[in-house]
A and B are shown apart, each in its own frame.
Chain A
Amino acid sequence: MASRPAHSIWGRKIVEYDLLFDCVHCGLCLEACPTYAISRAEMDSPRGRIYLMKALAEGRLDLDSDAVRHLDACLGCRGCETACPSGVHYGRLIEDTRSYIEGNYRRETPDLLRRGLISAIFPYPARLRILISPLRLIERAGLRPLLNRMMPRSIRSWLELLPPLASTQTSASISSPAPSSSAQTVVVHHGCVAQVLARSEIANAEALLARAGYRVIHLDRTICCGALDLHSGNRARALDFARANVRALAASGANAIVSTASGCSTAIAEYGMLLKDDDHELSEKARLVASRVTDLSNLLLKRLPMPRSFSCTVTYHDACHLAHGLGVRDAPRELLRSIPGLKLVEMVDADMCCGSAGSYNLTEPEMANALARRKADSTIATRADYVVLANPGCEFQIASELRRRGSNIRVMHLADFLAMAIRTSDE
């Protein structure tokens, strides 16, 4: 048998060439892809994007605005990985492709500015706090609606995504017993945007874990997990963030690592792969840290003392990386079902992306809004009182669309919802 060329002889090193051949072009991913669901055109499907990557790698296609547009349009939700029978590592392919695009393609100025702004602010909580502090004042004065109206459309859509800032100040709403000395230890990774805009989620997650008998270790500094950078092609900084996190998390000695943002927990769960070429000590630590990542729901299931009763109808939205990255689907649902009086109703396509996808809703607003509308449609159709989910980005995105429609359905993070149910039942 003749040997085959190990890599593309035309030499555009865009991704690991052999990985492209995991895709057998069967098309089973199409219907699982949110962007294909909206556009119904195959350039916006995983199979189509892989085809573009291959054509780029083989030099059969120029890296022009057409190709970049369709690769940019990918949410990175990895719904296709769940659907794929051939085990294509789509997440790696799209991350590497984006890294290549950022290094080799000249974007238009407005696009560059937008991306630069996100990259300069979001990973740094202190900067984000400063940026939104005037907004807090405006909100307290009741002037946010006015501000929104005054802004040009591009900025207005960003503002509308922000949750009411008063809600982001909440601390834990339930008390917890002191842990026993033999308790398993857990770290809740605070991340970046979440520790500014989703503080109650983090505080409640820690309180719930304590209530379930874990000893919660508070880390002074956990920083951005690097997912934002990985997904937007800034690999070098992502690696720096990852290394810092690995050192801090390994030093904490925690048995389990969770994040209230499932995009972050998935990123940390892949540190082993990400840092595999670092020096032995760090790559080993990265592997160890990665292996300890789990989800809050897994830790709470069967251990959290549940409220006596909480009567309501709930629908559950699968955050992409929780379902497709960590494969966590049943535990959050089981937790919800174990609350007496609670009725769980499934929505159509619960595991299809809501369009939030990290900073996607800020860079690709049109597609993001179309997906938010779709998600709101399926949420409203359930007639639920609450839509519960486990990622702040989805929370802001879905809440923003439901607000726009004047819907009464409340959007809550699982941690906030459980804390509320317990508090209400205890009262």
Chain B
Amino acid sequence: MRHDMQSPRRMIESSFMDAGADGSAQVDKELIAALGKIVGDGGLVSRLSELKVYECDGWTIEKSAPDLIVMPRSTEQTSAVLRTLWDRGIAFVPRGAGTGLSGGALPVNAPVMICTSRMNRIIAVDSADRRAVVESGVVNLRVSDAAREHGLFYAPDPSSQQACTIGGNIAENSGGPHTLKYGVTTNHVLGITLVLPDGEIVELGGAAEELCGYDLVGAVVGAEGTVGIVTRAILRLIRTPQAHRTFLVTFEDVESATRAVSAIIASGIVPGAIEMMDQLIVHAVEDAFHVGLPASAGAVLIVELDGLAAALDDQARTIAAIARGAGATEVRLAASDAERGALWKARKRAFGAVGRLAPNYATQDGVVPRTRLPDILRVINEVSGKYQLAIGNVFHAGDGNIHPIILYDERIPEQVRGAIDAGREILAACVAMGGSLTGEHGIGVEKQGEMPLLFSPGDLIAMAELRHVFDPAERSNPNKIIPSAGSCVEVAAPHRQVPI
């Protein structure tokens, strides 16, 4: 860890001297010229029609286009760009591939967007130490592609892994179906190169497995881009399992499927993944991909075992017996890699498949204790009726991470409002059941208002203070996570325009 511990203190002091600069200074021709010198004219986007394309990410309910987009190609360019913005008191918002689902890349009083998409080199794959060094704009799946020939893979596998970037994964601490066994992004990031909002480049963590001192990498992973721009990461790679056994298990209702999930966990077997889809999702997925899901099912589970081939058959028998004991009407084992691949493809594209049912959807993300899954599903069902909006459920059942997908039509204002309110009610219920506001999508702008449900004003102040160590002037992705800019005890809805 080469981080100079003087620097945050220095920055806090300088932020006091800088008091008054709120990061909202304007983009002008002079700034465009200065940044163009750093990244080249091709690295800037400043035309109105082009900026529009960036006015939202995967969270489409709120829109706000940046005034300027900068696409640096290296850590050094990023540093020079941030230094220039710092000197002028201009705030910025980071963006990778814009697949985020909580509006993390939505500019809110941040005139400049820093897009990491051009920092997409895989710098090294170290098969002996099982590490990959990548730039933050590298797409998640590309890391596993590069590691495959060494018999390794990168474990966090969000459903958007074919497009989302490692930088975005680090910002949101992304998960995926296989987090049940392998953990989320923070468990797989060993070191990062972070460019602080004043342009200083710091290295946090490193290639070694155990480092002493405070876990600063841990503080940056999941910070949703509010501490600067991550340009590089050292990732842990995992040995590709020798074999898989992947089940498709059918149930008449969600209750019995949930019983099966709890019983599997209780048996001591740790599957790679346990995923659940409810009736609406099963229908949508089957209509879209024709993988042979049972149309009459009340719920299906995808249970995947992985590990040494010799051990899997015994475990598979146990899983099948447990599932039947919990009331499964059918237990089907994928017969080939192709069948397994088709099942996962269908599962990972479930969100989009549901998109075929309505013009728009909002994917919610909450967590409840596993045993409360039937309770939260009952709440979701009531909320669906109350707002007259269809809601499908696909989730990482093994760790109680739910994804209600709320269908709406952006052309009908009351549906947009309903989708927002329905999401809030579901999250409030998650918290009331002892759960959390997000499993992997982040707070962004979407769930800022709900943070006080989970955290006391004191908690929120502590979080803001941690953020200020890195970003004392709140220039990096301002107005995210913590409700309302500036004062973290104010819990009213944040100051932003909701275009409804």
Contacts and interface: CB of A to CB of B under 8 A. Distances in A.
B99 A26 contact: yes
B317 interface: no
A66 B49 contact: yes
A41 B117 contact: yes
- For the complex of A and B, the 6 pairs showing the least CB-CB separation, nearest first, are A85-B352, A85-B349, A21-B359, A24-B355, A86-B355, A40-B117
B352 A61 contact: no
Q: At the interface, is chain A mostly helix, strand, loop or mixed?
A: loop
A300 interface: no
B58 A85 contact: no
Contacts of A66: 47-50
A86 B163 CA distance: 15
Nearest to B69: A41
A25 interface: yes
Interface in B34-78: 45, 47-50, 52-54, 56-58, 60, 71
B71 A40 contact: yes
A5 interface: yes
B71 A32 contact: no
Given A24-B355, A55-B49, A70-B50, 18 more contacts: A1-B415, A4-B409, A5-B411, A21-B409, A25-B56, A26-B99, A26-B160, A26-B352, A26-B355, A27-B163, A28-B349, A30-B98, A42-B53, A42-B54, A42-B98, A66-B50, A85-B351, A87-B288
Nearest to B353: A85
Interface of B: 45, 47-50, 52-54, 56-58, 60, 71, 97-99, 115, 117-118, 120, 137, 139, 141-142, 145, 160, 162-164, 288, 349-353, 355-356, 359-361, 388, 409, 411-412, 414-415
A61 B360 contact: no
Contact of A25 (B60, B120, B139): B60
Interface in A17-37: 21-32
A66 B45 CA distance: 11
Interface centre among A32, A43, A61 (most CB of B within 10 A): A43
Nearest to B418: A1
B53 A29 contact: no
Interface residues of A, number: 38
B97 A30 contact: yes
Nearest to A63: B49
B234 to A, nearest CB: 22
Contacts of A41: 45, 50, 71, 115, 117
A60 B49 CA distance: 9
Contact of B288 (A1, A70, A85): A85
A2 interface: yes
B388 A1 contact: yes
A86 B60 CA distance: 16
Q: At the interface, is chain B mostly helix, strand, loop or mixed?
A: loop
A282 interface: no
Contacts of A179: none
Contacts of B356: 22, 86-87
A27 B99 contact: yes
B120 A40 contact: yes
Contacts of B349: 28, 85
Interface in A211-248: none
Nearest to B414: A2
Contacts of B160: 26-28
Contacts of B351: 24, 26, 85
Contacts of A24: 60, 351-352, 355, 360-361
A67 B349 CA distance: 30
A30 B140 CA distance: 13
Interface string A346-360: 001000000000000
Contact of A51 (B52, B120, B162): B52
Contacts of A28: 99, 160, 162-163, 349, 352
Contacts of B120: 40
Contact of A31 (B45, B97, B361): B97
A426 interface: no
Nearest to A36: B117
